[in-house]
């Protein structure tokens, strides 16, 4: 599980969701595009929430590891959406190896 800090909020999400969100945000910023992504998360109070991230070139986003023993919520749908967008819209920006591994 990873701890995501976005603006003034801190949330816990699974590793794959956090890593994919950062990759997608970086590609959106690099291309000057924007998108919104909803992730299931755990907030600082320990409650399960649905967080909507506005990803653009000005999005302050950070992910860090955590030793939390909480079970991360499922984000398979959001991860699939971001991976599809990364593969289709940004394939020209990805290194050749990374592009081939997504096909």
The residue ranking higher by pLDDT, 31 or 52, is: 52
Which structural domain, as residue segments, surrounds residue 69?
2-102
Q: Tell me the CA end-to-end span of the chain in Å, nearest whole number.
A: 26
What is the tally of structural domains in the chain?
Answer: 1
Residue 97 has pLDDT above 60, yes or no: no
Global confidence as pTM: 0.84
**Are 75 and 15 within 8 A, CB to CB?**
no
Residue 57 has pLDDT above 50, yes or no: yes
Query: How confident is the model over 21-37, as a mean pLDDT?
Result: 93
């Amino acid at each position: 599980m990873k701890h995501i800090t976005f603006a003034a909020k801190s949330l816990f999400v699974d590793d794959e969701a956090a890593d994919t969100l950062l990759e997608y945000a970086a590609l959106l910023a690099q291309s000057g595009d924007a998108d919104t992504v909803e992730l299931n998360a755990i907030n600082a109070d320990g409650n399960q929430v649905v967080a909507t991230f506005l990803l653009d070139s000005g999005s302050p986003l950070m992910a860090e590891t955590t030793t939390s023993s909480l079970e991360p919520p499922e984000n398979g749908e959001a991860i699939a959406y971001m991976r599809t967008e990364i593969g289709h819209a940004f394939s020209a920006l990805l290194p050749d190896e990374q592009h081939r591994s997504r096909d």
